[in-house]
Structure 1
Amino acid sequence: MIIIKLIGGLGNQMFQYSLGRCLSEKLNCDLKLDINSYSNQCGLTPRNYELGVFKIKECFADVEEINHLKNKKRSFFQKLFGIKKIYYFSENSFSFDNEVLNLTENAYLEGYWQSEKYFKRIEKILKTEFVLKNEMPKSNKEFLEQIKCTNSVSLHVRRGDYISDPIINEVHGVCGLGYYRKAVNYIAEKVDNPHFFVFSDDKEWVKNNLLTKFPTIFVNCNHNDSGHLDMMLISNCKHHICANSSFSWWGAWLGKNDNKIVIAPQKWFNNCNRETKDLIPNSWIKL
């Protein structure tokens, strides 16, 4: 059995699930989700379990199963003969750690695991599971039709808690208008007649500040509690401009266009000490 601890918002949960799903597929064992972190929260940005909207393999770990793996110790004989069975595996850094993919036993995993290298081998499986259980609302379908019939480019602006929460702001910061201008210009050089579809948790700000000379549609049919619908709309766009956000990362990664152009910010964190070379797929453009 693999138990993966879920923390953070939708994008983070998708990274965590994807690693657990990859290991469960490799080891031919059950995957269970630990969602206890959502019971006791503090801070300005409370989160909820959000993966239930997708057609994933959803099974929750109980307290007994969690404690069994988190607290399990190596026996005297395992230590004597040098048998290194790992039952609790915690992410040590932001860089890809191949060791976790070499697990051969039941394990409890805790971390963010933000690299496609953890689950690239099951890409096709994930793209069949990260689809909506329920039909899109009519308001979303109207935008979807426009997305499908144009050279659509998703443009995601993350503000919200990146602005309002001082701790989160110190870690992440926000992508400036200069980044978005460069990204729009890059797309315009590569794509004929691009149509930009803007997604943001600060709709008024983007309307007042994000101006282009190209057709631009501000997607306003969803609220913060239905972000998964925005993500699905993003995934249907032909090309993508990401914010420094796991949310737009997943929207772009799930993109259905085999020839998609994906632009991501070179600076993902305010703290330059965090190594992000494994976060952005090699085929994406960093600006």
Structure 2
Amino acid sequence: MRKKAIVVVKGGLGNQLFQYCLANHLKKNNLSVKIDTSFFNINDFDSKNTFRYLSFTPRELGFKKASKFSIIIFNFLRKINKLSIKFLTFEYFKGYNHVNLKFKDFNLFDGYWQNKFLLDESKDFLIECLSNNDSFRKNIALNDPKFNTLVHVRRDDYIGMSEELTISYYKESISKMNTLVKDFQYDVFTDDKTWVKNNDVFSEAKNIFDQENFENDPILTFINMIKYKNFILANSTFSLLASYLKEDIDSKIITPTPWFRNIEHPGFLYNDWIAVENR
């Protein structure tokens, strides 16, 4: 019997793309993969989570959506997994790591899968899928990006987790980038425009953009992010993916390390990227 898998897709655009990357990895390993998008059912939404919109349907990225019945079956198998059932096996996976996993007959993947090994494996898959959008395809192909440097500031749900990046991170990052980039100019993309405007470290920003500037559309925001050549990342897969997909040999990318202060995370630091301490 071909092994079966359900991958839970949840969170914002960056998280969704990593989860689809995992689904593609599993498909390449000959698992029968379906996608659970029930996180986005507004009637069933858990108010403890930050509400997000589903940016890509399973069909758009080459997958089938898991039926309600199959989701019920997999969750039932998870509950009885501790029992000794000889005629089938089940495994529940979560976290960030996707390597050396031992698959069973039925496999439920409910994690974020954020690691640079999966990202490197999936770059062509991501570009192919995103290129279904004409604007993305046009801007990812530009050899000379239109704008200089993007600074990403994410706060929103991170404040409650005490994982928002501090002023010291941005002060050091902007100072470093100023020495590395000729005719340095930058725009800020943020979910907290008021906070950015109230902090002098961003006083020389040419533009400060939030969701409303891009019709509250994550895909439109992402497309505008890949118009830049250099990036000062937040600890967010949103700006991470934009920088990773767009960078060229001359790009300068600054990333926080550690990725999170209070949550164990593998982080993203490539050899030619520049680390600034997240303290």
TM alignment of 1:1-287, pairs within 5 A = 1-27=4-30, 29-39=31-41, 40=44, 41-43=46-48, 45-52=50-57, 55-72=60-77, 75-76=85-86, 87-91=90-94, 93-94=95-96, 96-100=97-101, 103=103, 107-131=107-131, 133=133, 135=135, 148-150=145-147, 152-163=148-159, 169=160, 171-211=161-201, 216-219=206-209, 222-223=213-214, 225-271=216-262, 274-276=263-265, 278-283=266-271, 284-287=273-276
Structure-1-length-normalised TM-score: 0.76
CA distance in 1, matches of 2:221, 2:132: 12
Change (3 A) 1:53 1:26: closer
| Equivalent pair of 1:194/1:215 in contact (CA under 8 Å) | no
Aligned alpha-carbon RMSD (Å):
3.1
Count, aligned residues: 258
Question: Taking structure 1 as reference, are residues 191 and 24 closer, same or farther at Cα in structure 2, changes over 3 Å only?
Answer: same
CA distance in 1, matches of 2:213, 2:117: 31
Normalised by the length of structure 2, the TM-score is 0.78
Aligned-pair CA distance for 1:211: 4.2
Deviation at 1:223?
Answer: 4.9
The answer to whether the 8 A contact 1:239-1:262 is kept is: yes
* 2-structure distance, mates of 1:126, 1:98: 19
Per-residue CA deviations over 1:201-238 (Å, capped at 9, x if unaligned) read 12233233254586622235635731222222222311
Separation in structure 2 between the aligned mates of residue 249 and residue 65 of structure 1, nearest angstrom: 33
Q: Tell me what 1:81 maps to.
A: none
Asked whether the equivalents of residues 91 and 103 of structure 2 are also in contact (C-alpha less than 8 Å), the reply is no
Letter in 1 for 2:192: D
Amino acid in the other structure paired with 2:66: A
Native 8 Å contact 1:38 1:47 kept in 2: yes
In the alignment, which residue of structure 2 is the partner of 1:166? none
Q: Give, in whole Å, the separation in 2 of the partners of 1:77 and 1:148.
A: 56
Give 3-state SS (helix, strand or coil) of 1:175's partner.
Answer: coil
Give secondary structure in 2 for the equivalent of 1:197.
Answer: strand
Separation in 2 of the partners of 1:234 and 1:180?
18
Asked if the contact 2:235–2:256 (Cα under 8 Å) also holds between the matched residues in 1, the reply is yes
SS in 2 for 1:89: strand
Cα shift at 1:104? 7.4
Distance in 2 (CA, whole Å) between partners of 1:130 and 1:172 is 32
Letter in 2 for 1:24: K
Cα distance per residue 1:81-102 (max 9 Å; x no partner): xxxx5x43322x55x35223x5
Ranges in structure 2 where 5+ consecutive residues have no aligned partner:
none
Counterpart-to-counterpart distance in 1, 2:49 and 2:21? 27
Larger RCO of the pair (alpha carbons < 8 Å, separation 6+) = 1
Q: For residues 46 and 181 of structure 1, what CA distance do their matches in structure 2 show?
A: 31
Would the aligned equivalents of 1:236 and 1:256 in 2 still touch at CA under 8 Å?
no
